[in-house]
Chains A and B, each alone.
Chain A
Amino acid sequence: MIEILLFFIGASLLLYVLLGGSDYGAGILEMLPAGKLREAQKHLINEAMGPVWEANHVWLIVLVVILFMGFPGVFVPLMTYLHVPMLALLVGIVIRGATFTFRHYDAVQEEKSQRVYTWLFSGSSIWTAFWLGVIAASLGRGLIDVETRDVWSAYFAPWIGWYPAAVGVFVICIFAFLASVYLIGETEEPELRRLFLRRAAVFNVLVVLAGGLVFAASYGEKENLPAVFFAHPLTLGVLVVATGLFVALWVFVQKHRTALTRIVAAGQVTLILLGWWLLYAPNALITAQGKINFYEAAAPEATLWQLVLALLVGSCFIFPSLFFLLKVFKTKGREEF
């Protein structure tokens, strides 16, 4: 039964990164200079994100609810010792969601206020993506110390360092890469397509560089990443395949195969998450006192059954409606209000 819940945790995390992540990426892209394509880009992103961003965002809430109901032993230390980065994340989530909506629904579309919305929207997209990375990195560092009374080592040391920062940057690059690849297929405008193609190429390089940075930064950690990653054939294999898929990606890009391009990019990100998962599963958290795994941190049986039931019944509603949403909006020629 815990396996079913682990599946849902993995699925929500994956969908949040693939769908919600690309929404962050769209915000990140708007920070970059686009010259005379600026307005067209904004319009395209409004159209692409508008109908779906709230649904994409809910995956994060699903994840949080599974954790606090099913695995309070993971949720509670997370919210206690990573209090500060969680707060930073929340501030970003609030500003990003609000300004994206405000920008679209401000009745007076004037240059000045639109610039402020866009700046806040993209700034908070970068900010939030960074903190997601920091939090993800902090789970496995072994610096969360549930016994210390010292304020610094309890609430700051677990998430401060080059390694969490590098993962933060890596997440920013991944999200921007996903968004660039997705957006190529959202438009027929040759100039816009070229813009997103160029950006996909740039972030392709940046993802690889940032990945290297993550590996390099991990040398300051208790366990450096290359040692654990390369020690296991599975994680190594995942890494090699994810990198190798860049070749396939660019072949499909050259051939204008929109759907395949998206699938490959999403596949790469899936593999990266899979590698991360393989590295730690079934542990959820590594503390100074030892590993906390999902099995030990789980709520009693009766609770888990109810959670599984809610997730299964919920899926029967959510997935069909989600497919309907995508079918309605991700086919060409949308008419928005």
Chain B
Amino acid sequence: MAQIFKPNANAIIRVSIITGILLIIGIILTMVAIYRSTYYTEVGVAKAQSVPFSHKHHVSELKIDCRYCHATVERAAFAGIPTTDTCMSCHSQIWLNSPLLETVRESYRTGEPVQWSRIYDLPDFVYFNHSIHVNKGVGCNVCHGQVDQMQLVSQAQPLYMGWCLDCHRNPEQYVRPREEVFNMEWAPPENQLEMGRRLVQEYEIKVENLSDCYICHR
């Protein structure tokens, strides 16, 4: 009877096993790299918008408050995208003939909404409410970054669950006085921990429930 395995079979098996293991490790590493890359998280990747609206100009140079446009942020889950009426309350007076604003003027004439590209898009199985965060002293720039320095807005955080939990488990490291929530220049002071613990008590932040599953997955 002829031999089933040829003399080089051992070498072939060894090479196959090693290649297989390397392949699996390679696939895992590639997946991790993709998962953490800006291609997947879109952190810092500015999106084109139908109107090239500059937050830097309006927030940093004109000092317009976040709430002027995102008006429902204090009382609703959704912060709110400004109506064309809001844009036109100024732009019916200034930059009347700017071609950059033609989309806005057309929307005002026709009643058709301006279409914006969404930047922050949580998975649908995550419940998020802006008003509770704003009212408990979580500042805009904690999640949205230095929007006042962005021409076109990009995502500032990857929105991993671990990142959410980091604050939900240790809110005292992040909360600030309510009146500083909309201050884009606010940075944690030296006594953040001490102040944070006081604010967690004062704002009745229920730390013991904050990392329960149902808080975000409901």
A binds B: no
- Residues of A with Cβ closer than 8 Å to B? none
- Residues of B with Cβ closer than 8 Å to A? none
